[in-house]
């Protein structure tokens, strides 16, 4: 993860350096766009995602089983309790949002609550709360910012008057270089953030398994959730698919989905293999 973050940071430095060198007189525009995008993405992305997925906060009286699982995991992890929500969806899944523990929200779908046993639910909640403890939402927001900036810069340059404001040779070069560099940076950044996301998911699985002491329960939940996806209507899966980076397990609307190749999550086999190794380690200890 450190190596991947270093590469993302290096890519960011190169990208901004090229933009400043090429644009010169337009560098204030770069800074304004970059600053505005970063602030909006960092402060509002988690709330937008939770709203888009239909999360509604619930009280302990409304969802005693879910609140009970969150209370037990928070006690084990010695962390403050986040807000608890439920999304009315038959897709069996869960997610956590928030830049840190103070703004965190953990949400489970009605489909997940209906299908999992209590110990399996605790494993899933432990996975999601480990994302909160590790500040994964903030990490992924910062990591993905470069790709968003690169894509936005290409659009601004191509569709505004910036590229046609002058006929001198520097502007002509910039018209060619900026979109090209932005496209390359976007692709590389996208691949690196996907790689980082897969590492973060494996880290959350490991933390949840060690925290609960029941890696087999988390493995059972993973197997059950992934297997149940095939029975969910395609229309529901398509609605859930854009938010795969947040979900406990990704939802794919088809076996041929490109998202499977560029998934934000490791494969089920990789996750189960890691949990199996942890189970053996705990057994020996």
| pLDDT tens digits, one per residue of 92-113 | 999 998 877 888 999 999 999 9
Lowest mean pLDDT among 21-25, 114-118, 139-143: 21-25
What contacts 280, CB < 8 A, 6 or more positions away? none
In the predicted model, what is the mean pLDDT of residues 124-147? Answer: 84
Q: Residue 67 pLDDT more than 70?
A: yes
Residue of 219 and 35 predicted with greater confidence: 219
pLDDT tens digit sequence for 219-241: 999 999 998 887 787 777 777 77
Q: Residue 181 pLDDT more than 90?
A: no
In the predicted model, what is the mean pLDDT of residues 203-209? Answer: 96
* 241 included as an active-site residue: no
Say which of 65, 128, 241, 256 is annotated catalytic.
Answer: 128
Give me the sign of the Cα torsion angle 85, 86, 92, 98: negative
Q: Using the 8-state DSSP alphabet, how is residue 264 labeled?
A: S
In the predicted model, what is the mean pLDDT of residues 14-43? Answer: 67
Q: How confident is the model at residue 64 (pLDDT cuts 50, 70, 90)?
A: very high
Tokens at residue 33, please? 């766009």
Specify the pTM: 0.78
Cβ neighbours of 219 (radius 10 Å):
23
Report pLDDT for 211: 94
Q: Which residues pair with 83 in a beta bridge?
A: 105
Go through 103-123 and write b for each residue having 16 or more CB atoms within 10 A of its CB, e for each that does not.
bbbbbbbebbbebbeeebbbb
Which span out of 69-78, 166-175, 192-201 was modeled with the highest average pLDDT? Answer: 69-78
Domains of the chain by residue range:
1-237+256-283
Tokens at residue 70, please? 């969150």
* Residue set of the binding site for Zn(2+): 127, 131, 201
Residue of 102 and 157 predicted with greater confidence: 102
Pairing of strands 83-87, 94-97: unpaired
Report pLDDT for 219: 96
């Amino acid at each position: 993860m450190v190596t991947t973050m270093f590469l993302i940071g290096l890519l960011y430095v190169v990208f901004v350096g090229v933009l400043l060198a090429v644009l010169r007189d337009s560098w204030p525009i770069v800074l304004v766009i970059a600053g505005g995008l970063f602030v909006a993405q960092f402060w509002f992305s988690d709330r937008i995602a939770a709203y888009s997925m239909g999360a509604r906060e619930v009280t302990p009286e409304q969802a005693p089983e879910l609140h009970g699982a969150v209370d037990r995991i928070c006690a084990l992890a010695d962390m403050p309790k986040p807000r608890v929500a439920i999304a009315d969806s038959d897709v069996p899944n869960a997610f956590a949002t928030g830049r840190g523990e103070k703004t965190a929200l953990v949400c489970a779908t009605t489909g997940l609550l209906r299908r999992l046993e209590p110990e399996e639910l605790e494993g899933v909640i432990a996975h999601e709360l480990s994302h909160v403890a590790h500040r994964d939402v903030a990490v992924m927001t910062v990591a993905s910012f470069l790709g968003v900036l690169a894509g936005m810069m290409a659009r601004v340059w191509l569709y505004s008057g910036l590229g046609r404001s002058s006929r001198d040779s520097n502007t002509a070069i910039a018209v060619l270089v900026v979109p090209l560099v932005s496209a390359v940076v976007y692709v590389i950044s996208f691949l690196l953030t996907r790689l980082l996301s897969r590492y973060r998911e494996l880290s959350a699985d490991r933390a949840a398994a060690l925290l609960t002491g029941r890696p087999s329960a988390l493995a059972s939940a993973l197997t059950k959730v992934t297997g149940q996806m095939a029975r969910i209507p395609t229309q529901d899966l398509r609605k859930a698919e854009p938010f795969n980076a947040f979900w406990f397990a990704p939802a794919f609307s088809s076996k041929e989905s490109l998202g499977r190749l560029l998934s934000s999550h490791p494969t089920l086999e990789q996750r189960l293999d890691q949990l199996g190794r942890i189970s053996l380690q705990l057994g020996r200890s």
